[in-house]
């Protein structure tokens, strides 16, 4: 799905399946969590908790299916350190399994001064590069990846993330009217593909039986009403 466009019914189903998978894996949790912006959120998504082979394989399938459904064109994938490293590798494998074989690369936080040297590992950065990450909080990681890709002579073209929180970003400690995803798309000019959004999470909660899920839905909806942004 390209964020801001109408969500196709089949992708909506994929998105809710992903939310269910994340909840069952303990990656998407409900409670009280402090965000990077200092807000108290009723849910928390930590892709680092996808931590075994079966989970990573299923996660890569969700990324690949969402990307192929989005229609976004790209020549290779790039994973920013650190979480993006495993994501880029496994998604590249899954894309190849589904008939879309592309090179992948990732970066180190610290450049090596021996062996192959430098901070980049994998295929040379070239053509239209798809950045793969887990979530987007402020767009900082995207800006860093864009600078690195441009310095290598390639074109930062799109970003794929697991969950779009669809909430206001912060600048200089103040809430702003756009989300990090909207900033990356509208200001930095990159297409964005998200497996699922906050709206999908709310749909999942409304469709899942149980008093606890109803309570979670009420709290997440209240959070969205306070901090959410309009799609676009």
Catalytic (active-site) positions:
112, 114
Helix (H, G, I), strand (E, B) or coil at 209: coil
Rg (CA), the chain: 17
Contact criterion met (CB below 8 Å) for 149 and 155: yes
Q: How far is CA 38 from CA 32, 35, 60, 68, 230, in A?
A: 12, 5, 30, 35, 21
Reference 11, options 182, 199, 206; nearest CA is: 199
How is residue 191 written in tokens? 């297409």
Residue appearing with tokens 């009280």: 32
What are the C-alpha distances in Å from 25 to residues 51, 54, 56, 83? 9, 11, 11, 17
d(CA 48, CA 84): 10
How many residues comprise the chain?
232
Q: Are 169 and 138 in contact (CB under 8 A)?
A: yes
Q: CA-to-CA distance for 105 and 75, rounded, in angstroms?
A: 12
From CA 34, how far away is CA 74, in angstroms rounded? 35
């Amino acid at each position: 799905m390209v964020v801001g466009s109408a969500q196709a019914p089949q992708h909506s189903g994929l998105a809710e399946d992903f939310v269910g998978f994340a909840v069952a894996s303990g990656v998407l949790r409900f409670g009280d969590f402090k965000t990077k912006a200092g807000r108290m959120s009723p849910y928390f998504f930590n892709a680092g908790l996808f931590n075994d082979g079966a989970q990573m394989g299923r996660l890569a399938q969700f990324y690949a299916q969402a990307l192929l459904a989005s229609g976004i064109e790209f020549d290779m994938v790039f994973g920013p350190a650190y979480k993006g490293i495993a994501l880029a590798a496994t998604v590249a494998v899954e894309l190849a399994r589904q008939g879309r074989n592309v090179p992948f690369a990732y970066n180190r936080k610290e450049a090596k001064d021996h062996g192959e040297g430098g901070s980049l590992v994998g295929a040379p950065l070239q053509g239209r590069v798809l950045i793969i990450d887990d979530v987007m909080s402020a767009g900082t990681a995207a800006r860093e990846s864009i600078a690195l890709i441009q310095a290598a002579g390639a074109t930062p073209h799109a970003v794929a993330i697991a969950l779009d929180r669809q909430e206001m970003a912060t600048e200089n400690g103040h809430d702003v009217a756009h989300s990090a995803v909207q900033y990356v798309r509208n200001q930095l000019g990159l297409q964005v593909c998200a497996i699922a959004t906050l709206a999908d999470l709310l749909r999942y909660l409304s469709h899942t039986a149980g008093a606890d899920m109803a309570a979670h839905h009420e709290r997440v909806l209240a959070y969205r009403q306070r901090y959410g942004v309009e799609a676009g």
